[in-house]
Structure 1
Amino acid sequence: MRLRVFHARTTAQALAQARAALGEDALILSTRRAQGGVEVTAAAPMAEEPVEPIAPPARRRATFEETVGAALRRHGVPEALIETFADGDSLAASLSTALAFTRLPLDPGAVLLLCGPPGAGKTLTAAKLATRLRIDGAAPAVIAADGRRAGAVDQLAAYTRLLGLNLVVAPDIPRLAKAIARRPPDAPTLVDLAGADPFCEQDGTELAALIEAVGATAVLVLPAGTDAAEAGDIAAAMAARGVRHLLPTRLDVARRLGSVVAAAAAGSLALAEAGIGPGATDGLAPIDPATLESWLLAPPAARRSLRKDVMA
């Protein structure tokens, strides 16, 4: 796999350089702030190699291609990533090496910003997290900061009323910063941000400033089942603004999960949980390498039962 690093003032410019140099199918592997701008690491698409007779040393690779490789291609996992997974003892081991997995920081005093493109499932995710925390005995602060989408505040308010929680409405950045500053120190704070354009400089600058100002942890909420290259670009752009976690949604209805793997890799985002159903009490499941492996290798019908096992 041929890697190259590109530097530019903005994420969009760095991505454009990568595409121009390596082609439209270039795989974005990581994005970070560097030297007063953005640094993007990208890989050129893997060229097809001549087929050689299968010898004993190649049997392991052949088995990988027939089983794991074929499954990953059905999911739309980028070819360069499939190549990196081929050397591990198992797919779970390769995922553990290539991707980051962690828990969401929901300790007392923590601030979690749920961000992402419109319609990704941020509001429902906020409701799911609030419900779980309430069941566990915590009383999280919940802030509705989506002043753009009609009905967003009402949707979240319906959940907080059922949970006996107060909902703070902060439809703009100044009021949001004040609301976060007044958060209770003995419980986590969940912030449902408005849907944003990942490639808009103004939206990105505001998000980066907010993360830095309040010391928040930003989580990219992104639906599964989308184009892997697009998901990777979105994750890379959000990572350049300070986002560090990925929470994929709609795994209960998505047939292909390549976008989840591509986004986690391109943005160097840590996977923690995933949306696996519409229920507020059981709609999230933790992700670790073994769980992700099982979802990637099982056919869609079988993945439904796997999710039920996770929720049990």
Structure 2
Amino acid sequence: MLLRTFTARTATEAMQQVREVLGDEAIILSTQDDDTGIKVTAALEPANGAVPEAAPDRRESWEELEAADRIAEVLDHHRVPRGLADRLLNAAANTSTDDWMMAFAAALDHELSFLPLGDIGPERPVMLVGPSGAGKSVTAAKLCACARLAEGRSLLITMDGGKAGGRAQAETFTKALDARLVCAEDAAAVGAAAAARANDEIAIIDTVGCNPFDAAERGALREAANAAGAAMALVLPAGGDPAETADMALAFAEEGVRCLIPTRLDSARRFGGLISAAHVGGMSFLAAGVSRHIGGGLVAVNPVSLARLLSSRAPFQASTLLAAD
């Protein structure tokens, strides 16, 4: 069965789209009316599962429909919000490729943005921010591991040394990764540590967990980032509710956060929250945490690898899918 969702300003326009694409044999499964217009979901069961030979002029439309169905199924599985899902489907429909996965990747590239992991260098520190338990400290260690693999030097500045075991954890990470460690409790100390780094040191700043909806806590992070001249990257775990995760991203975006590092992709099954957060927050995917292992547990994200990850019904294969590119 072929499924397709049509969105229009009025019910008449939506039904006209249904007839043009699926024909008069289509079955209307649902009709929804909200502030954005009319959304009609229709289905069609082609004879023998193939495009009727009597209608060769419609073959291209049927092939496009099959690709749209696959992408729509993936977006629905991940609970991608309706508005964003429609934008992605429209972008995919406007691509010229016959490969539905590449059309999906092109749509993601059109609606989202991506930064190479190699953009992290000694020129500007990177400050990791996010709610408690998001995986900031482990991500900081993974970034130091990436620097070491690239035969570079790294400096870990931690503002999280005051928590139980925080300093000991940071010392363990930096010793294993041959990185330098500095503990800083406030914005002035963070700024001083960043200013004293060697010219070839990649500075990673690990921060305390922040309540996304506490303006004072967010403001303290922004003050520390400004003191260090750092770019802030939001660390968020996969599997969160799309609306709640988007609200978090918007809150951090108000403080100037423009990068996103998702974590725990190996232990979640739905990533609509991450997609929504990146979109509404105007944030670029910088990297992704695909395992608990420090070495090799952080990989770059690009449109093709993200399309493959979203299309997989087995999220535990995330490291393999992302590493393929």
TM range (shorter): 0.7 to 0.9
Q: CA separation in 2, counterparts of 1:193 and 1:200?
A: 15
Q: CA separation in 1, counterparts of 2:176 and 2:41?
A: 61
Q: CA separation in 2, counterparts of 1:181 and 1:60?
A: 57
Q: CA separation in 1, counterparts of 2:236 and 2:80?
A: 16
Specify the alignment match of 2:183 in structure 1.
169
Q: CA separation in 2, counterparts of 1:52 and 1:108?
A: 54
* Kept in 1: contact 2:234–2:260 (CA 8 A): yes
Task: List runs of 5+ in structure 1 lacking aligned partners.
Answer: 3-43
Q: 1:223 aligns with which of 230, 234, 237?
A: 237
* Kept in 1: contact 2:234–2:252 (CA 8 A): yes
Instruction: Write out aligned runs for 1:128-167 (5 A).
Output: 128-147=142-161, 149-167=163-181
Q: CA separation in 2, counterparts of 1:109 and 1:49?
A: 49
Distance 1:53 1:117, change over 3 A: closer
Task: List runs of 5+ in structure 2 lacking aligned partners.
Answer: 1-6, 9-33, 45-54, 96-102
Q: CA separation in 2, counterparts of 1:61 and 1:198?
A: 41
Q: CA separation in 2, counterparts of 1:158 and 1:297?
A: 37
Following TM superposition, by how much is the alpha carbon of 1:64 offset from its aligned partner in structure 2, in angstroms?
A: 4.7
Specify the alignment match of 2:116 in structure 1.
103
Q: How many residues align?
A: 269
Specify the alignment match of 1:192 in structure 2.
206
Following TM superposition, by how much is the alpha carbon of 1:217 offset from its aligned partner in structure 2, in angstroms?
A: 0.9
Give yes or no for the alignment of 1:91 onto 2:107: no
Q: CA separation in 2, counterparts of 1:254 and 1:211?
A: 30
Q: Once the two structures are superposed, what CA deviation does each residue of 1:2-51 show, in whole Å capped at 9, x if it has no partner? A: 9xxxxxxxxxxxxxxxxxxxxxxxxxxxxxxxxxxxxxxxxx87555345
Query: Percent identity over the alignment?
Result: 32
The residue type paired with residue 83 of structure 1 is D
Specify the alignment match of 1:308 in structure 2.
320
Q: CA separation in 2, counterparts of 1:61 and 1:202?
A: 50
Q: CA separation in 2, counterparts of 1:75 and 1:47?
A: 23
Specify the alignment match of 2:71 in structure 1.
68
Return structure 1 stretches of 4+ with deviation > 3 angstroms: 44-48, 50-62, 303-306, 309-312
> Which structure would you say has the larger RCO, counting Cα contacts within 8 Å and 6 or more residues apart?
1
Q: CA separation in 2, counterparts of 1:132 and 1:124?
A: 12
* Kept in 2: contact 1:236–1:263 (CA 8 A): yes
Specify the alignment match of 2:39 in structure 1.
49
* Kept in 1: contact 2:218–2:255 (CA 8 A): yes
Specify the alignment match of 1:279 in structure 2.
293
Q: CA RMSD in A?
A: 2.4
Q: TM-score, normalised by structure 2?
A: 0.76
Q: CA separation in 2, counterparts of 1:207 and 1:112?
A: 12
Specify the alignment match of 1:262 in structure 2.
276
Q: TM-score, normalised by structure 1?
A: 0.79
- Larger C-alpha radius of gyration, 1 or 2? 2
* Kept in 2: contact 1:61–1:86 (CA 8 A): no
Specify the alignment match of 2:52 in structure 1.
none
Q: 2:82 aligns with which of 79, 82, 88?
A: 79
The residue type paired with residue 316 of structure 2 is R
Specify the alignment match of 1:119 in structure 2.
133
* Kept in 1: contact 2:265–2:318 (CA 8 A): no
* Kept in 2: contact 1:124–1:156 (CA 8 A): no
Q: CA separation in 2, counterparts of 1:190 and 1:60?
A: 48
Q: CA separation in 2, counterparts of 1:245 and 1:283?
A: 18
Specify the alignment match of 1:17 in structure 2.
none
Specify the alignment match of 2:12 in structure 1.
none
The residue type paired with residue 92 of structure 1 is A
Distance 1:230 1:61, change over 3 A: farther
Q: Secondary structure at the match of 1:291?
A: helix
The residue type paired with residue 109 of structure 2 is S
* Kept in 2: contact 1:45–1:79 (CA 8 A): no
More deviation, 210-219/187-196: 210-219
Distance 1:125 1:173, change over 3 A: same
Q: CA separation in 2, counterparts of 1:159 and 1:125?
A: 11
Specify the alignment match of 2:11 in structure 1.
none
Q: CA separation in 2, counterparts of 1:53 and 1:276?
A: 37
Q: CA separation in 2, counterparts of 1:201 and 1:51?
A: 41
